Amino acid sequence: MKIRLEKTCDACPEQYDAWLGEERVGYLRLRHGVFYVVCPDVGGVCVYEAAPEGDGLFEDDERDYYLRFAVDAILKWIASGKPPVPPERPTAPNVEYEIN
């Protein structure tokens, strides 16, 4: 099974769509030093997260390294039967607090 990555933005953020044939199976994004992968698309299940040195784009020596982990996480998500996207965010608890 081969995942095809389509780069949709070069920097700030560096991002990709992941495809298996004609089906979108993932969204990859690096912004502010956080790289994450969600399946099958934005708002989906986060299957991988990392903190590379690159801020809005990968350093040359880290792109291949992190993209391999990302594709592996997508393949594992597919193999697990594509768990559904979690439900909407629950309502916040009704509590009191103070910020100093």
Q: For residue 89, is it within any domain?
A: no
3-class DSSP assignment, residue 27: strand
Residue 66, φ and ψ in degrees, nearest 5: -75, -35
Q: Do 63 and 70 touch, CB atoms closer than 8 A?
A: no
Q: In this predicted model, what pLDDT tens digit does every residue of 39-95 receive, in sequence order?
A: 999 989 999 999 999 999 999 999 999 999 999 999 999 999 887 666 666 777 888
Q: For residue 10, is it within any domain?
A: yes
The pTM score is 0.83
Residue 53, φ and ψ in degrees, nearest 5: -70, -35
Domain that holds residue 12: 4-79
Instruction: Give 4's strand partners.
Output: 19
Q: For residue 57, is it within any domain?
A: yes
Torsion angle of C-alpha atoms 44, 48, 54, 56, degrees rounded to 10: 0
Number of domains making up the chain: 1
Q: In this predicted model, what pLDDT tens digit does every residue of 1-50 receive, in sequence order?
A: 899 999 999 999 999 999 999 999 999 999 999 999 999 999 899 999 99
Torsion angle of C-alpha atoms 11, 43, 24, 85, degrees rounded to 10: 150
